[in-house]
Amino acid sequence: MREGGGKANVQRPIVRKYTTENTPTAVIVTAIGCYYLGSLRPTALPDSSTTTLHEAQKPRHQTSATNLQAAWADFVEIVGKENVSTDKIDLEEHSGSDWSSYTAKPNEKPFLVVFPSTTEEVSRIMKICHDRRIPVTPYSGGTSLEGHFSPTRGGVCVDFRRMGEILALHERDLDVVVQPAVGWEDLNEELAKHGLFFPPDPGPGAQIGGMVGTGCSGTNAYRYGTMREWVLSLTVVLADGTVIKTRQRPRKSSAGYDLTKLFIGSEGTLGLVTEATLKVTPKPKSESVAVAAFPSIHAAAECVSKVVGEGVQVAGVEILDDVQMKCINDAKATRRTWKEAPTIFFKFTGTPAGIKEQIKIVQKIAKDTKGQSFEFAQGEDENRELWSARKEALWSVLAMRRNDSDRVWTTDVAVPISKLPDIIEATKEDITNNGLLAGICGHVGDGNFHTILLFNDSERVVAEEVVHRMVKRAVEMEGTVTGEHGVGLIKRDYLPHELGDSTVDTMRKIKQALDPLSLLNCDKVVRMESPKAGEVKKW
Amino acid sequence: MREGGGKANVQRPIVRKYTTENTPTAVIVTAIGCYYLGSLRPTALPDSSTTTLHEAQKPRHQTSATNLQAAWADFVEIVGKENVSTDKIDLEEHSGSDWSSYTAKPNEKPFLVVFPSTTEEVSRIMKICHDRRIPVTPYSGGTSLEGHFSPTRGGVCVDFRRMGEILALHERDLDVVVQPAVGWEDLNEELAKHGLFFPPDPGPGAQIGGMVGTGCSGTNAYRYGTMREWVLSLTVVLADGTVIKTRQRPRKSSAGYDLTKLFIGSEGTLGLVTEATLKVTPKPKSESVAVAAFPSIHAAAECVSKVVGEGVQVAGVEILDDVQMKCINDAKATRRTWKEAPTIFFKFTGTPAGIKEQIKIVQKIAKDTKGQSFEFAQGEDENRELWSARKEALWSVLAMRRNDSDRVWTTDVAVPISKLPDIIEATKEDITNNGLLAGICGHVGDGNFHTILLFNDSERVVAEEVVHRMVKRAVEMEGTVTGEHGVGLIKRDYLPHELGDSTVDTMRKIKQALDPLSLLNCDKVVRMESPKAGEVKKW
């Protein structure tokens, strides 16, 4: 293949830029091009479609005390003194959480937390941070797990707690307009009054802003899809303070690039979401739950595969492993005692006769695939009771803590559906061999599962290695390093292994285009500067 | 609010670039920045998150005969002489189509059509076009409607017809890996052998490459979602020839930016799709169709709204207006004669008892909402017969052509569901008042409808105005200028009205980042240079 050379190349000036940091720019001009000289870090070649880590523009933040104090005064002008906090506890709370797998370094704290109340205020705050080159970390529910809101570069935390309103419910259009600090549980409580619901169901306490950020999902994803399928439109404040609305309110559109979906899952690195228009759907009139225990994960998965193959449109299908079921029993998390075996939880919705028929089909399949028990609910109370075990998974592992120094590491991966039993079995074996306790629960219809791993400081390295191998296993099975939690800081460096360098370089190109100063949620999703020696785990 | 000024601004060199075309670059360096002088068109400010039309880098193509002939020789080296065509008929066929609403100008023809057979060949072709600055238009099924594959800048057409293989079917994972020239109908024929199907059902003849490009959908979208919901991963050749794979094969992932969805609906302007991994789903075991006629569009829509509100999970719900039904009768397009009234076509899937129950509920609601008739199918033959009218909509209007000079203009818009009856009624009235004939069929559950408009040369201006007002009406009702066809050339200039300038400027920033030389499917989706006087219709 011919590369370069030829007539066209002669005509095109070759421009290769080198930029300096905080020093005047020197430029050499030649007949065919122009060089910026300074540090030897080149910026992205202007004609290429990707930005390698080597080419990336390093962040050039200004986080001197003088600059941050001046920003504080600017913010006070915009939102009032009472809505800008430098309180120590506030700063701590906005640095990390007990349930995050990332341990914040001592300097990873915001200088201040600002609480805006409108899109316009967020835009004005962002313009100031842009002018002053101050990094910004967005914060809503604070329930993310992989270090998503760790302010690795200090700067400003924008907490959306004053933007927690449901702005409009369009019942006949089946959509609702909300602010970023609306929790999905509160939203559903309100929607229920109108016979409606919003399916994405991540961890308790999660709010719309963060749910957009992580592209979350939950037990309803098998039937209803993830956050990506339930957002119609976003209002976003970009890195330079520009406000955009990604779409209007129709349920379908083919007009232009799908910016809505670009922001979903971007973990606050491309813009700050200040409003979302969400699809909602009528709450099913009838619902039922069935629970079946199996002799092995493989048998349980075989059952689900056959149910799906039969075209039974179950509304949810979850798996809990034997250890997880034991935790629920030991913690006395539910009223009943369960068989300590791999257990499938089915949810059915539809019309009453339709549900009855589905249950009958599933019951037969469970029996054919070595199911050891099959129970289905009669009425709402029994629905709740049967589903309660699934709901108590996390809390029951938390209850197993041996003492106060024990922590819980919740993480997830996803693989093609048929590979789920293999990866669960291998991960279970690895956990047992390393003397750790972990419950496993999986969205089995999506090939996605969580480990809820108990560990203390002395077990941290072992736990890290177990998680590392689980992630590696998922990638090697053509899966993903995270099905619904996002990469945050902890899984960022796995992305090139999952997707290849050029795909990550394309993401970096987009990041640099929309946030040229690397202000937004620094260091998440893609690196903008090379890791220090030893910082990245060997693959 | 303070803008600019302050300490941070002093430290930051202000860089404002002006570029010239085909002339050496002149640069002035000052202590605080650097100016490129030349034409007075500034390029995007490097720190901003958007690119205005004024700031955009104008395309600088090299389409001299010498350069194109040299490219021809390069391509022959890659794919062989037999797979590079300069045949006049080939060039004509790749310039437009009878069913496109865009009329190609005489010079809008490719210089050659190249037929690659692998991703690697496409990458090598793209690298040559990048080096030589030759614009590239991708082509698969050629069924798009809004001028999507018109080679407005000449250059090279990449036709994927040699890449039409189903590469792998993973039955247990419910996914299939295909090349871009696989047609959705052929794919479904193959999948049916395995009890599976792929829901997106756009116009007949459409192929995966173009379906990704337009983010298409069809009658199955109400139940199953659009193309966006059915693509797991794409292999894409970027503008500079870089090959990326957007994801692996898990059904769910939260790992990194959703590049898959960025390419879906990008109309070939961001990259060339050379492979796609698609979700598939078990073919429903039972299916049934019901048809109900109503006294008005509003009554029909009221029925659908109640059915949806009842939580009945219909698999499809389509509306045809009275004119459309009359066309079907007049064209004798189906075996039976239909009531010439607004008619709803329901599709039900599920278990047999579930379907029966759904039909009963819908029948009652139809009666309560002034339904004038309700028929449901018993058995597959009757299913086919009842659905046949929906299937024949386009052909029946085509059959109404008065003579050879009559053409058909098919276009679509979408609005929030509750506004669909109003916009259909207003559009019908406008069509009638202007003496035109048009059938209307709508994906009523999605708020999306099509007009199939008959016109001849003398009626062109009137037809254009009718479509313009329909689009404007949709935007004013918080809708979109296209629900499933894409904007192509015809609706591109409506985007700023629908989305606002800053949203389109964000799209332009992304276009410029990934395709800095504006090589890919020029002039579609976003403009990279200002329109000529009179080129854009007054809003």
Chain centre distance of CA A158: 18
Q: Are strands A136-139 and A156-159 parallel, antiparallel or unpaired?
A: parallel
Residue B166 has pLDDT above 90, yes or no: yes
Q: How close, in Å, is residue A322 to chain B by CA atoms? A: 25
Q: Which residues of B touch A5 (CB under 8 A)?
A: 131
Whether B320 is covered by a domain: the verdict is: yes
Chain A CB contacts of B36 below 8 Å: 34
Measure the CA–CA gap between B281 and A314, rounded to whole angstroms: 13
Best probe of the B interface among A251, A348, A519, by most B CBs < 10 A, is A251
| pLDDT band, very low/low/confident/very high, at A45 (cuts 50, 70, 90) | low
HEC secondary structure over A333-384: CCCCCCCCCCEEEEEEEECHHHHHHHHHHHHHHHHHCCCCEEEECCCHHHHH
The reply to whether A117 and A148 lie within a common domain is yes
Partners of residue A265 in chain B, C-beta under 8 Å? 254, 256-258
Nearest neighbour of A252 by CB, restricted to B127, B217, B509: B217
What average pLDDT does this structure show over A140-154? 96
Nearest CA in chain A to B263: A257
Least Cα separation, residue B262 to chain A (angstroms): 6
Domain boundary among B282, B313, B343: B282
pLDDT digits 0-9 by tens, B432-446: 999 999 999 999 999
Strand partners, A18: A42
Burial pattern A158-190, b for ≥16 Cβ within 10 A else e, equals: bbbbebbebeebbbebbbbbbbbbbbbeebbee
Domain check: are B278 and B290 in the same one?
Answer: no
Minimal Cβ distance to A516: which of B46, B134, B478? B46
Q: Are residues A177 and A273 in the same domain?
A: yes
Q: Which residues contact A136 (CB under 8 A, 6 or more apart)?
A: A125, A126, A129, A155, A156, A157, A158, A272, A519, A520, A521
Distance from CA of B254 to the nearest CA of A (A): 5
Within 10 angstroms of residue B300's Cβ, the number of other Cβ atoms is 30
Domain tally for chain A? 4
Residue B263 lies in a domain: yes
* pLDDT digit string, tens, across residues A223-256: 999 999 999 999 999 999 999 999 999 999 999 9
| Domain assignment of residue A530, yes or no | no
Residue-level pLDDT at A33: 32
Q: Using alpha carbons, select from B210, B221, B215, B147 the residue that is nearest to residue B410.
A: B147
**Residues A211 and A267 placed together within one structural domain of the fold:** yes
CA-nearest of B507, B526, B49, B520 to B242 is B520
Question: Which residue has better confidence, A504 or B8?
Answer: A504
CA B82, distance to chain mean position in Å, is 31
**pLDDT-based confidence at B286, cuts 50/70/90?**
confident
Measured in angstroms, the CA of B470 and the nearest CA of chain A are apart by 15
**Chain A residues with CB inside 8 Å of B78's CB?**
1
Q: Hey, are the CB atoms on A357 and B354 less than 8 Å from each other?
A: yes
Closest in B127, B251, B478 to A417, CB measured: B251
Instruction: Tell me which residue in A78, A239, A483 faces B253 most closely, judged by beta carbons.
Output: A483
Q: Could you say which of B173, B229, B514 has the minimum Cβ distance to residue A417?
A: B173
- The pLDDT of residue A44 is 53
A162, A181 contact by CB (below 8 A): yes
- The C-alpha of B421 sits at a distance from chain A's nearest C-alpha, in angstroms, of 12
Q: Which residues of A touch B480 (CB under 8 A)?
A: 247-248, 250, 252-255
**CA-based nearest residue in chain B for residue A501:** B244
Whether residue B268 is found in the same domain as residue B310: no
User: Does A423 map to a domain?
Assistant: no
Band (B44; pLDDT cuts 50, 70, 90): low
pLDDT per position as a tens digit, B72-83: 999 999 999 999
Judged by CB atoms closer than 8 Å, whether chains meet at B481 and A170 is answered as no
Q: What tokens appear for B314 in the block? A: 């219909």
Q: Do A24 and B32 touch (CB under 8 A)?
A: yes
Beta carbon pairs, A and B, within 8 Å? 444
Does residue B184 sit within a domain?
A: yes
Question: For all residues of chain B together, what is the average pLDDT?
Answer: 91
Residue of A nearest to B258 (CA): A262
Measured distance CA(A467)–CA(A411) in Å, rounded? 8
In a domain, B45, yes or no: no
DSSP tag of B300: H
C-beta atoms of B262 and A264 within 8 A: no
Q: What is the pLDDT of residues A315-342, one digit of tens each?
A: 999 999 999 999 999 999 999 999 999 9
Among B22, B447, B495, beta carbon nearest to A256: B495
CB-CB contact of B424 with B438 (8 Å): no
Whether B54 is covered by a domain: the verdict is no
Q: Is it the case that residue B10 has pLDDT exceeding 80?
A: no
SS3 state at B176 = strand
Question: CA-CA distance, A385 to B22, in Å (whole number)?
Answer: 74
Q: Which residues of A touch B450 (CB under 8 A)?
A: none
CATH code assigned at B91: 3.30.43.10
Mean pLDDT rounded to a whole number for chain A: 91
In the listed set B99, B127, B159, which residue is the last one of a domain according to the structure? B159
Reply yes or no on whether the pLDDT at B334 is more than 60: yes
Contacts of A503 in chain B (CB under 8 A): 244-246, 256, 259
Are B242 and A49 inside 8 Å of each other by CB?
yes
Among A243, A349, A498, the residue with its CB nearest the CB of B255 is: A498
Does B173 lie in the same domain as B90?
no
Nearest to B480 among A250, A506, A507 (CB): A250
C-beta separation of B79 from B126 below 8 A: no
Question: Residue range B421-430: average pLDDT?
Answer: 97
| CATH at residue B451 | 3.40.462.10
The answer to whether residues A137 and A102 belong to one domain is yes
Please give the residue that has the higher pLDDT: either B242 or B5: B242
Whether A178 has a pLDDT exceeding 60, the answer reads: yes
Nearest to A255 among B261, B419, B498 (CB): B498
- CATH code of residue A307: 3.30.70.3450
Distance CA B215, CA A42 (A): 37
- State which residue of chain A sits closest to B221, comparing Cα positions: A252
Co-location of B222 and B337 in the same domain: no
> Closest residue of B to A36, CA-based?
B34
Q: Is B29 within 8 Å of A31 when comparing Cβ atoms? A: no
Q: Specify the residue for token string 């509304």.
A: A315
> pLDDT at position A46, please?
73
Q: How far is A289 from chain B (nearest CA, A)?
A: 17
d(CA B8, CA A130): 9
Is residue B453 situated within a structural domain?
yes
CB contact under 8 A, B2 and A128: yes
3-state secondary structure of A471: helix
Query: B154 with B174, same domain?
Result: no
For B257, which of A31, A174, A265 is closest by C-beta distance? A265
Pick from B148, B197, B251 the residue to mutate for testing the A interface (most A CBs within 10 Å).
B251
> Across residues B279-290, what is the average pLDDT?
92
**Cβ neighbours of B499 in A, within 8 Å:** 244-248, 255-256
Regarding whether B108 and B155 lie in a shared domain, the answer is: yes
A291 and A277 together in one domain: no
Residue B183: give its domain's CATH number.
3.30.465.10
- Domain of B87? 65-159
Last residue of a domain, one of B101, B127, B159: B159
Q: Which residues of B touch A481 (CB under 8 A)?
A: 255
A262 with B261: Cβ contact below 8 A: yes
Residues B340 and B479 in one domain: yes
ipTM above 0.90, yes or no: yes
Q: Which of B213, B242, B263, B210 is nearest to B123 (CA)?
A: B242
